[in-house]
């Protein structure tokens, strides 16, 4: 979820709102390193991977060298995978990534929605844009059905 289309779709399905974690990371106010924000903007929807599935602790992360190593271990060990086997790629990486900007330090959460993120606006500008897009979509697409 990242834009007015996402909001309108979520509301049409009966939701009261939408989760925009990855979208909010790529805002000026987000307390994360600029390298993280730039990595999200540069990513496409094809640049994420699911990790830790054999451990029943699935997480979607941005693809990087550490994630490739983690997935190699998952494939090699299969059902025998233990958390200790991937400790280096997942434990304690968030301070390195989010504070220091070492985006290849390990696996860090990022949604496929990265493919819809092309800028790093302020939170206010983002919310204003999403609301403007949502109002336009509702006005253009639903105005005819309301008159019928």
Question: What local confidence, expressed as pLDDT, does residue 146 receive?
Answer: 56
Residue at 1 is within a domain: no
Which parts of the chain register pLDDT below 70?
144-148
Residue at 35 is within a domain: yes
Residue at 94 is within a domain: yes
Q: Name the pTM for this structure.
A: 0.88
Residue at 81 is within a domain: yes
State the DSSP string of the chain: --SHHHHHHHHHTT-S----HHHHHTSTTSSS-HHHHHHHHH--TTSEEEE-GGGT--EEEE--HHHHHHHHHHHHHGGG--GGGGHHHHTTHHIIIIIT--TTSS--B--GGGGG------HHHHHHHHHHHHHHHHHHHHHHHHH-
Residue at 135 is within a domain: no
Q: Which domain holds residue 115?
A: 20-122
Question: What local confidence, expressed as pLDDT, does residue 142 receive?
Answer: 73
Question: What local confidence, expressed as pLDDT, does residue 141 receive?
Answer: 82
Residue at 97 is within a domain: yes
Residue at 5 is within a domain: no
Question: What local confidence, expressed as pLDDT, does residue 83 receive?
Answer: 94
Question: What local confidence, expressed as pLDDT, does residue 144 receive?
Answer: 66
Total tally of structural domains belonging to the chain = 1
Residue at 138 is within a domain: no
């Amino acid at each position: 979820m990242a834009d007015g289309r996402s909001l309108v779709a979520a509301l049409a399905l009966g939701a009261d709102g939408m989760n925009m974690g990855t979208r909010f990371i790529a805002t000026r106010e987000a307390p994360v390193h600029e390298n993280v924000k730039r990595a999200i903007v540069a990513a496409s929807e094809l640049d994420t991977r699911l990790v830790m599935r054999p451990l029943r602790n699935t997480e979607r992360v941005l693809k990087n060298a550490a994630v490739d190593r983690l997935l190699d271990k998952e494939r090699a060990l299969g059902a025998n995978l233990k958390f200790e086997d991937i400790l280096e790629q997942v434990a304690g990486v968030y301070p390195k990534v989010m504070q220091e900007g070492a985006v290849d330090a390990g696996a860090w959460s990022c949604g496929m929605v990265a493919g819809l993120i092309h800028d790093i606006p302020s939170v206010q500008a983002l919310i204003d844009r999403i609301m403007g897009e949502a109002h336009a979509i509702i006005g253009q697409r639903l105005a005819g059905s309301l008159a019928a």
